Amino acid sequence: MIVLGLGAVFLAVLQAGGLHAADAGENAVASGELYARVKQAALEILVDDHLNGSGSLVDAGGLAITAAHVIGQPGNRVEVLSPVAGRRRADVVAVDLGHDLALLRLEPRDGGYPCLPLAARLPPAGADAFLLGTPVFRHAVLFRAMLARDELSFEYLNAGYVLVLTLAASVPSGTSGGPWVDRQGALIGVQSGIMSNSGTPVGVAFAGPAGAVRRLLETRQTAATPNAGLAIEETWQQQRDFLNRFPPQTEGLVVKVLQADGPAARAGLKQWDLIVEAEGQAVRLPDELLRIVRGKKPGEPLSLVVLGPDGTGKRRVTVTLGRLEAAWPEARPAAKKP
């Protein structure tokens, strides 16, 4: 499980109580039936014989999805435990680190595999969601939560930014890679990480969205996620001594982490630099900058306007974007049709 710390900032999300009839939807599945359906398609992920996390089958032919950080590095030996197929070898087909996803292929099985359908759209904020996973080495445990935001957002998880959906949920380690489903039993996300305050979970979970799972299923190729090699915070998160270095109401994004020899570091960005513009647009929220980055391709330039940590020295910096999946083989171009 990836844990996102908040430092001095505390965020509490109030989880909804009972389920109202209007929340369930016309095609909602009864609780016991929902659990049985998801359990049949659920997997436990073994990496070099260690139970690393959870997963689920998303194709009757044996394609499965889990979190990329559960698999770890290329070359690790991966197996799955299935309630219907037992222990089976799994090959890594493709990864998408920008959504913390790994697509696996199981060996063929007579009659195919039970699998989860993919939700056509993201449920609204406040809708029920359910996670099946292997928390702290306990098997097939179901968690109930709710969608906590109405749109995807970026979180810095596992040394890179991941585009995720946000849920009001308390989930322990071992559930990473597990399926989040809606009341109809359709996959809406893949468990990725949690939010914490000084090491204590605060009831917020993050999941790679079903839309990204669908793209992996369609392409079956490792993604090429553009990466600037930094982590940023908003100005109003900073301490007073930092804010006093700048004119009142200065807005931007503070460089807090630089990946060693990463794109931003090679371009000359320094810790505590303040990014005020990207591609000619003012940026004050991380998602504003990160959506500009994600709109580009690895190898393309990213133009920034930056202030020094003392509030002076305004300068332009050009970052040549890297590839988040650099450790994984690049996708091969699709063969041309005759």
Residue ranges making up the domain that contains 231:
226-323
Instruction: Record the tokens describing residue 256, joined without a space.
Output: 């807090």
- Can you name the residues that pair with 90 across neighbouring β-strands? 78, 106
The residues, any chain, with a CB within 8 Å of residue 124's CB and separated by 6 or more, are: 147, 150
Q: 193 has which bridge partners?
A: 2, 206
* Residues 140, 138: Cα–Cα separation, whole Å: 7
Count of structural domains, the chain: 2
Pick the last residue of a domain from 208, 223, 238. 223
Tens-level pLDDT at each residue, the chain (338 residues): 555 543 333 232 222 222 233 334 556 777 789 999 999 999 999 999 999 999 999 999 999 999 999 999 999 999 999 999 999 999 999 999 999 999 999 999 999 999 999 999 999 999 999 999 999 999 999 999 999 999 999 999 988 999 999 999 999 888 999 999 999 999 999 999 999 888 888 899 999 999 999 999 999 999 999 999 999 999 999 999 999 999 999 999 999 999 999 999 999 999 999 999 999 999 999 999 999 999 999 999 999 999 999 888 899 999 999 999 999 988 665 554 44
Q: Which two tokens stand for residue 266?
A: 């090679």
326 closest CA partner among 218, 242, 180, 223? 223
Q: Check residue 159 and give left, alpha or beta (phi > 0: left; psi -120 to 50: alpha).
A: left
Do residues 248 and 122 share a domain? Answer: no
Domain shared by 142 and 75, yes or no: yes
- Closest by alpha carbon to 230, among 252, 206, 262, 208? 262
Examine residue 47 and state whether it is found in any structural domain, yes or no.
yes
Tokens of 331: 């996708």
Shared domain check, 167 and 85: yes
Q: Which ranges of the chain would DSSP assign to H, the alpha helix?
A: 21-24, 31-41, 68-71, 210-219, 240-243, 263-266, 286-294
Residue with token string 């001095």: 8
CATH classification of the domain holding 185? 2.40.10.120
**Amino acid found at 55:** G
DSSP-assigned letter for residue 118: B
User: 192, 37, 221, 194: which is closest to 115 by C-alpha?
Assistant: 37
